Amino acid sequence: DIVLYYLLQMKRSQDAGMNIILSVNSSALKEADFWDKRRAKRGDYPLYGVPVAVKGNIGTGDDQPTSAGAKALEKSFSIQDAFLVKKIREAGGIILAKTNLSEWANYMAENSANGFSALGGQTRNPYGRFDVGGSSSGSAAAVAAGLVPLAVGTETSGSIIYPSSQNSVVGLKPTVGLVSRNCIIPIAEAQDTAGPMTLSVRDAALLLSVMTGEDARDPVTGMARKAPDEYILSSDRKKPLEGIRFGLVSNRVMRQYYYREGEGAIQLRIAGELARAGAEVVFIEMDEAIYEKLDVSTVFRYQFKKGVNDYLKNWARGEGPRTLAEIIAFNRENPPERMPLGQELLIAARENTFAPDTVRETVRANARLAGECIDALRKEHHVDVLFTLSNHMSYIYAAARYPALCVPAGFKETGEPIGVTFVASAGEEELLLKAAYGYEQTTRHHNPPAALPAK
């Protein structure tokens, strides 16, 4: 009954033109029946019978294409489940559907649109005529609209955090290496990760604990050995953030290029809410020179070409192009249908001639410089957790490969959702979950959308 309910919700959303879902698992009801017959062993499976949606660039070994929203991969499937999908299924979860996204995880065109793909159309925000965020647009919107209780997104730089903020859901971008990336269509292995997108911090902690694990096909997951088997959250105090010191980060670049109307006042309101929950809050001006020191463009162009070609060679089955060059040629055959917004980034990636040693050094430099920036702010100001609105700090924490967690922080006067994002250092997911849980429990800012918005 649970799976059928969510399938009907998905149909309703598609009929309303929400364009949240790319495909539905045709075996979902059979899988639900299988778990119904194993009720006696329910306690052994933390996601027993729970429907989960995954972003359209995440591989599944079922009958759903793994397309990244591209027409070129409309009939391309994965040879097996991604490691994280396997872990979800082993925990009793039912992969119900794949969600729409900004095509190629927002690495296709210079003038892309959040939530648009040639295959899935334009994902709409369940809260109204607002930016849906990207690139994990459909995963965020699916949870917000009540199409699934749990979803998985991916992020290279802001792609879990920003849509979570825009759709009033919880989004956790883990430390790179905590969750395997195998059988996921990539942008850049230096920064790529998958992460949970849910209605509550507790659900995010549960899904993260299921998804983590060491995977021989993704060597960086060796750090998963240090992760707890379960992230345990509790809040039995009136001031659950007592003893935690937060730093509100800002600078001229954020204020000029990231802030939108009213967001300065919202940040101050959040600082007050943290203080009332027992936290100490300080204001931090971050040196804007860090933006000039980082070079992610070189890394993305080189690693996207290599990563996509490797995925198509090693993980893809079915029809469609087998190289990035073939994808570009396919799109050129029918630009209005296959690349209505262009494909400049695909071309730039294909044409890159960077030396592997140069890219490796750039990756190391980016991680070191961005990590030192975050660590120095925490040390200098004696803070445990940094915070900003939405994706204001994504460029920095993503290059550092550090974790971030966005939790609903209310709504603007227009009704547009806004989230607060907490940032810490590598491997400190437990600290972020504790901070976000305390904030969530004392503010209760999430409110579901009243109804699916009109077209």
Of 135, 136, 137, 390, the active-site residue reads 135
Contact indicator for 196, 152 with CB cutoff of 8 Å: yes
Asked if 159 is an active-site residue, the reply is yes
* Pairing of β 280-285 and β 316-318: unpaired
- What are the C-alpha distances in Å from 435 to residues 39, 95, 124, 430? 35, 29, 30, 9
CB 328 within 8 A of CB 344: no
CB atoms within 10 A of CB 42: 12
Q: Which of 159, 165, 180, 200 is catalytic?
A: 159
Helix axes 429-443, 201-211, angle to 10 degrees: 160
d(CA 290, CA 43): 48
Cα 438 from Cα 279, distance rounded (Å): 10
Tell me the C-alpha distance between 48 and 90, whole Å.
Answer: 9
- Helix (H) / strand (E) element for 357: namely helix 356-380
Range list of β-strands (E), 217-262: 245-250
Q: Is 14 left (phi over 0), alpha (psi -120 to 50) or beta?
A: alpha
Catalytic residue among 13, 55, 76, 112: 55
Report, as residue numbers or ranges, the catalytic residues: 55, 135, 159
